[in-house]
């Protein structure tokens, strides 16, 4: 079926991406992603290798430069956030199969300097699920809710965005959660030396912003600062032929002029979004498939992606509009 869908859609280059692989999901990821087990990840790769050829980020860029199109019948594997689970569980599986991979990191989180605000939310949700919330008036004051229903409080925590992330620190103080202690005890992120080791072993290390904001909430100056600072961090620490950047969350709401500035000013050579199988008007901006949105096999994920692509054909909705 996949081979048929590849021919019909004429999209035989795909880019699945992950955050982590683990048989035991850490608390900071527990309420955010459907983390694949090692066995599920192995199955994903086996299916991909059966139907596509693995290529590196340099292969993709070279194909776009020389041929003006993606590599044929191939896939590019990427991971976001630079998490410990990549090195411990995902990379051994990847390396064994000889698959090139790109790992995008947040300059503000490397070396466990800070915890991503969504990871903080996941830690707090775990605490709230095991806490008698009626005992904590400060919870209601911080979240501005007037109910003692646990699920309502948890839903409010899930809705906290980048602009209001300080509320999470208020809640942590209220609940007796110490994020610095959590970072110290769990070390969610890889450090620079570990990343250099991976980079020396062939892993492309790319940029993923400073502290993982939703770019739609920022102005253009803030967006460019996030990209430039994180790309410069990667350039100064790792050996890569390309300056790459993957947008945190999504690239939705970003204008065509913003993308032109990225490439015209040579802030990044190649960039990535998260919209699945879609066409892009900018040659060096590519859309990836968020594997962790699904609980099904890679075969079914791709079938859904291809079918959704076909469903949008009559409505001319297969190209990202900017």
Round to whole Å and give the CA distance between 162 and 214.
Answer: 7
Q: What is the reported pLDDT for 153?
A: 86
321 inside domain: no
* Predicted TM-score (pTM) of this structure: 0.96
* Contact (Cβ atoms closer than 8 angstroms) between residue 67 and residue 59: no
Domain boundary among 184, 218, 237: 184
Long-range own/partner contacts, residues 218-227 (CB < 8 A, 24 or more apart): 220/258, 220/261, 223/254, 223/258, 224/261, 224/262, 224/267, 227/262, 227/267, 227/268
Round to whole Å and give the CA distance between 83 and 87.
Answer: 8
Domain boundary among 133, 151, 184: 184
* Contact (Cβ atoms closer than 8 angstroms) between residue 167 and residue 160: yes
Domain boundary among 184, 210, 243: 184
- Surface-to-core class of residue 261, CB atoms within 10 Å of its CB (0-12 exposed, 13-18 middle, 19+ buried): middle
Alpha-carbon separation of residue 196 from 73, 189, 238 (angstroms):
31, 13, 6
Long-range own/partner contacts, residues 65-69 (CB < 8 A, 24 or more apart): 68/283
**Domain shared by 19 and 96, yes or no:** yes
105 inside domain: yes
* Mean pLDDT of successive 10-residue stretches along the chain, which has 322 residues: 92 97 98 97 98 98 96 98 98 98 98 98 94 73 74 91 95 94 98 98 98 97 98 98 97 96 97 96 96 97 96 84 87
Backbone φ and ψ for 197, nearest 5 degrees, come out as: -60, -45
320 inside domain: no
CA 239 to chain centre: 21
Alpha-carbon separation of residue 22 from 89, 140, 143 (angstroms):
6, 34, 32
Strand partners, 78: 17, 102
**Within 10 A of 270 (CB to CB), how many other CB atoms are there?**
22
Tokens of 165: 């992330």
Q: What is the reported pLDDT for 150?
A: 79
Nearest to 263 by CA among 283, 247, 248: 283
Round to whole Å and give the CA distance between 314 and 19.
Answer: 33
**Domain shared by 94 and 155, yes or no:** no
**Domain shared by 21 and 148, yes or no:** no
Q: What is the reported pLDDT for 147?
A: 62
Q: What is the reported pLDDT for 141?
A: 76
Nearest to 210 by CA among 243, 234, 238: 234
**Domain shared by 28 and 148, yes or no:** no
**Domain shared by 180 and 307, yes or no:** no
Round to whole Å and give the CA distance between 29 and 117.
Answer: 11
**Domain shared by 154 and 275, yes or no:** no
244 inside domain: yes
**Domain shared by 59 and 160, yes or no:** no
Task: Compute the half-sphere exposure of residue 221: CA atoms within 13 Å on the CB side of its CA.
Answer: 0
207 inside domain: yes
**Domain shared by 127 and 82, yes or no:** no
Q: How many contiguous H segments (helices) and E segments (strands) does the chain have?
A: 15, 11
14 inside domain: yes
Q: What is the reported pLDDT for 135?
A: 65
Residue count (the chain): 322
322 inside domain: no
274 inside domain: yes
**Domain shared by 278 and 231, yes or no:** yes
148 contacts: CB under 8 Å, gap ≥ 6: 133, 134
DSSP-derived pairing of the beta strands 270-273 and 13-14: unpaired
- Calculate helix-pair angle for 38-51, 2-9, nearest 10 degrees: 60
**Domain shared by 201 and 300, yes or no:** yes
Range of the domain at 176: 117-184
Domain count, the chain: 2
**Domain shared by 7 and 78, yes or no:** yes
**Domain shared by 134 and 155, yes or no:** yes
Round to whole Å and give the CA distance between 123 and 131.
Answer: 13
**Domain of 249: which CATH number?**
3.20.20.370
């Amino acid at each position: 079926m996949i081979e048929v869908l590849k021919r019909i859609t004429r999209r035989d280059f795909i880019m699945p991406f992950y955050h982590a692989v683990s048989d035991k999901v850490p608390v900071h990821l527990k309420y955010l992603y459907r983390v694949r087990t090692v066995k599920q990840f192995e199955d994903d790769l086996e299916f991909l290798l059966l139907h596509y050829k693995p290529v590196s980020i340099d292969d993709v860029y070279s194909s776009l430069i020389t041929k003006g199109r993606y590599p044929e019948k191939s896939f590019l594997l990427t991971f976001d956030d630079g998490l410990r689970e990549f090195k411990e569980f995902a990379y051994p599986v990847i390396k064994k199969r000889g698959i090139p991979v790109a790992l995008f990191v947040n300059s503000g989180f490397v070396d466990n300097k800070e915890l991503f605000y969504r990871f903080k939310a996941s830690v707090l949700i775990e605490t709230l699920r095991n806490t008698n919330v009626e005992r904590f008036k400060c919870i209601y004051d911080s979240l501005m809710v007037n109910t003692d229903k646990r699920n309502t409080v948890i839903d409010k925590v899930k809705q906290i965005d980048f602009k209001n992330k300080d509320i999470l620190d208020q809640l942590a103080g209220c609940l007796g959660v110490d994020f610095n202690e959590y970072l110290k005890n769990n070390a969610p992120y890889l450090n620079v030396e570990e990343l250099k080791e991976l980079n020396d072993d062939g892993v492309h290390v790319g940029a993923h912003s400073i502290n993982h904001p939703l770019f739609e909430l920022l102005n253009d100056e803030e967006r460019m600062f996030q990209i430039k600072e994180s790309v410069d961090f990667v350039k100064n620490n790792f050996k890569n032929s390309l300056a790459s950047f993957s947008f945190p969350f999504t690239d939705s709401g970003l204008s065509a002029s913003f993308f032109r500035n990225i490439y015209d000013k040579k802030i990044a050579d190649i960039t990535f979004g998260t919209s699945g199988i879609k066409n892009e008007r900018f040659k060096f901006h590519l859309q990836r498939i968020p594997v962790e949105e699904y609980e099904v096999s890679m075969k079914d994920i791709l079938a859904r992606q291809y079918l959704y692509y076909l469903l949008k054909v009559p409505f001319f909705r297969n190209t990202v509009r900017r």
